[in-house]
Structure 1
Amino acid sequence: MCGIVTVLFLEMQLSVVSALFTVEVPQQLYVVEYGSNVTMECRFPVNGSLNLGLLSVVWEQKKQGRLLSKEVYTLRNGKPFPLSQHHDYIGRAALLHSELKRGRALLQITNIKITDAGSYLCLIEYQGADYKYITLEVKASYKRINKQIMRKSDEDQFVFMCQSEGFPLAEVFWQNEKKFNLSGSANTTYTLTADDLYNVTSVLTVRPNLSETYSCIFWNKELNEQTSAHISTLALMSTQYSGQKSLVLFIIPTCVIAAVLLSALIILQKRKSFKNCNAKKGRKRKLHHFFSVTGKININ
């Protein structure tokens, strides 16, 4: 409330001092990516060295259709006034104090949100008062498209799905590799995330040729921007083949190892039997020789 009163008070002075003190903006429109940072600038005359104690800077966000503005940052008589800062900007918005002596009031906002979009009032009082408006637009490109393919077990049909998040709301178009439009057969839905992004999901069910490739295209009309992803039935088939191949590659070595172990066991058993047989024959020969010498028994 104090910030709004200050703004109204300063605006009343403009008709008197506007000819002596003018705020300028080198850039009136900023278009930034969701999650990035932005630094907006307005300039004012210093007239020599800056007397910080006489300087007041107010940055406010004004949105169309909303009566109350959000106070983004306030510098009053050279000192920050954090108590009036809107909670949406706490820890994210700051004034670059080192640039004030050059007559530059730079507002830096980090981790840009969708709700940061709007008009920003830059009002400065320093041996006079003036203000300008700067527009901030926030975009969130549908860069990452998650895709999935499934095959209906009871029908000869494939289900393709594409999902992505962005802002503003995008349309989704489907086409095959011959550029034939299949969007009429798709079901596209969307929900809003906690960050005010659109979560768009589009599902296409078709009976395709086994080698055909399909594309889902996210068209962001307001940004004149499109992103796409490609899905092929071969991907599903290669996955299934890969699984079967892996199973075969597992079974064959297992069988080979089992056969080798079994063969080794048989060989060891035969060697053991052969050694036992030779041992028995050796004992018989020794007994035969002994009794032949003593003449006590004749062993055939």
Structure 2
Amino acid sequence: MLWLFLCIVVVDVLVATFEVIVPNKHLLAIRGRPAVLGCEFTSGPDLSSLVITWQRQEDSRVVHSFYYQQDQLDRQCPKYHNRTSLYVSELHKGNASLRIASVRPKDAGWYLCIVSNAKGTGRALMEVTYGALYSEPRLSILVNASALKVQFETEGFPKPEVIWLGEHNQNLSYYLEIHDQIEDGLYIIKSICEVQKAVVNVTFTLKNHLLNQNLQRPMFLNYDEDTTDHMIIVLAVLSVVCILLVIGIIWLALKKQNEQRSSL
């Protein structure tokens, strides 16, 4: 009985000393960049019995598997092909971290790190959130007879906070258009501020709170409405002249053809 009791105590101690942990329960992954899902386990002296499996919690899809001292990717989800790797040289230190290259929108979700070796079996859960930095805003200036419109266009994720300020830091009204590109994991943002004055002094601000991104683009423009009107008139006259020239060339060509036919 004493021998049996000692065996049970030894087994309990071995199991109790084995654990699998994720240092960070949440990881913010950025579009196009690699993401490292950290996972640590109680290492053993021998890797021959080590089995590591990373999988998605919601549907048990296999993200990466390692056993028999090498990667085993026959059952790997196709969406992760050629994108995942372990730090094999650090497995003996208890490092089961997974690297996912070039993060995509569908990489977001819950991941299970399952590890077993001669000391025991354990698992740990972590969440991956997806975000995309907004690109450099592209400026467009639209002029019509009544007003001037300043437009900025950019892409990122998630939906941002947009602010337009006037020269005295007062909030300005604006138009915001958002298109959802599901496959690319981006929102296309187009924002327009209409200004009635001849002197334009506005500041466009976009905030991506998830990634702590703050884009601020001031815009100053002094334009002459009369000059703009004159330019429009000049362009209209030039367009008419070009049309008349084309008509004249076509008429001369037809006249020449008719003269050639008459001479035959």
1:173 to 163, 169, 182: 163
Residue of structure 2 equivalent to 1:214: 202
Distance 1:186 1:81, change over 3 A: same
Residue of structure 1 equivalent to 2:53: 58
| Paired amino acid for 1:33 | I
Residue of structure 2 equivalent to 1:203: 192
Residue of structure 2 equivalent to 1:194: 183
Distance 1:40 1:17, change over 3 A: same
Residue of structure 2 equivalent to 1:106: 97
Aligned-pair distance for 1:141?
A: 2.2
| Paired amino acid for 1:191 | D
Q: Is the 8 A contact 1:215 1:229 kept in 2?
A: yes
What SS does the aligned partner of 1:131 have? strand
Q: Is the 8 A contact 1:149 1:231 kept in 2?
A: no
| Paired amino acid for 1:61 | R
2:86 to 87, 90, 95: 95
Whether 1:129 aligns to 2:124 is no
Distance 1:102 1:81, change over 3 A: same
Residue of structure 1 equivalent to 2:255: none
| Paired amino acid for 1:41 | G
Residues in 2 aligned to 1:159 and 1:134: alpha-carbon distance in whole angstroms: 46
Alignment of 1:16-27 (within 5 A): 18-27=15-24
Residues in 1 aligned to 2:139 and 2:182: alpha-carbon distance in whole angstroms: 19
Distance 1:177 1:69, change over 3 A: farther
Distance 1:139 1:133, change over 3 A: same
2:172 to 179, 182, 193: 182
Residue of structure 2 equivalent to 1:162: 152
CA RMSD of aligned residues (A): 2.7
1:147 to 113, 121, 139: 139
Aligned-pair distance for 1:225?
A: 4.1
- Identity among equivalent positions (%) equals 25
- Of Structure 1 and Structure 2, which has the larger fraction of its residues in helix? 1
Q: Is the 8 A contact 1:99 1:106 kept in 2?
A: no
Distance 1:201 1:37, change over 3 A: same
What SS does the aligned partner of 1:19 have? helix
Q: What is the CA deviation profile of residues 86-110 of structure 1, one whole-angstrom value per residue up to 9, with x for unaligned ones?
A: 1221111111211112221121111
Q: Is the 8 A contact 2:206 2:216 kept in 1?
A: yes
Structure 2's unaligned 5+ residue stretches are 1-11, 232-264
Alignment of 1:252-291 (within 5 A): none
Residues in 2 aligned to 1:79 and 1:17: alpha-carbon distance in whole angstroms: 25
Aligned-pair distance for 1:42?
A: 1.5
- Of Structure 1 and Structure 2, which has the larger fraction of its residues in strand? 2
Aligned-pair distance for 1:121?
A: 0.8
Q: Is the 8 A contact 2:36 2:99 kept in 1?
A: yes
Query: Normalized against structure 1, the TM-score is what?
Result: 0.64
Residue of structure 1 equivalent to 2:217: 229
